Amino acid sequence: MPRISTLRITRSHKIATAVLVAAGSVTAIAATGGPSEAQTSAVRSSVSVEPVAAAGIPTAKDAAEKAAEQKAAKDAAAKKAAARNAAEQARSEKQAANRSTERKAITPKKFADNLDGWIRESLDIMKKKNIPGTYEGLHRNIMRESSGNPNAVNDWDINARNGIPSKGLLQVIQPTFDAYHVKGTPKKLTDPVANITAAANYAADRYGSIDNVDSAY
């Protein structure tokens, strides 16, 4: 065999062997000719390649993190919406309460224009002014003093002789009425509610309560 041919084969073998060693696999090479296609494939298949994610395609970890972020955002939005709804509900309830209070303040209570209504209206005023007294105490004294007549006038006692007769449901003289008149009631001695309330105010000052009065006072 000519020397030149032998030299060519030797170099080819060296090239093939170097490729196989670099790939981590030693393969028997034919005595003649260069590396075959099968040998080249063997070299390629012997190289271990670490799998990587294709560009633009999320891994399982990425998908889990994204799902967690979406859930956290959804929960935060739900809490925000719930807080907003609660605030709106509280505001609506407060506005409704304010409207109710305004209606009560604007709309005065109505009482019957009779002895029962006069006593109840007087008691309502007395409660606001912290004047003691009960329905029973007022009614009992009214019936004894005037028999329920708001225009009753005593023209025979000492007050009458002095020119200041007792008048009204609870037989109050003018000076006493003026001194114990309760603001918010008419400034008229014989007005039923004004007469009752002023008398109750006077009795509270002198006797502790109209309930403690059982005779002329």
For residue 183, pLDDT beyond 90 = yes
CB-based contacts of 47, cutoff 8 Å, min separation 6 = 23, 24
C-alpha 17/C-alpha 9 separation (Å) is 12
Q: How many CB atoms within 10 Å of residue 51?
A: 5
C-alpha 83/C-alpha 80 separation (Å) is 5
CB-based contacts of 123, cutoff 8 Å, min separation 6 = 133, 134, 135, 138
Residue 167, classed as helix, strand or coil, is strand
Cβ atoms of residues 152 and 146 within 8 Å = yes
Classify residue 84 as left (phi > 0), alpha (psi -120 to 50) or beta.
alpha
Residue 93, classed as helix, strand or coil, is helix
Q: How confident is the model at residue 64 (pLDDT cuts 50, 70, 90)?
A: confident
Using CA atoms, how far residue 157 sits from 14, 154, 165, 217, in Å, is 152, 7, 8, 13
pLDDT in tens, 19-42: 444 444 434 434 444 555 555 554
pLDDT for the residue 135: 98
pLDDT for the residue 211: 98
Give the residue-averaged pLDDT of 160-172: 97
pLDDT in tens, 110-130: 999 999 999 999 999 999 999
pLDDT for the residue 123: 98
Task: Outline where the chain has alpha helix (H).
Answer: 3-22, 37-46, 60-106, 115-128, 135-145, 158-161, 174-180, 192-207
DSSP state of 36: -
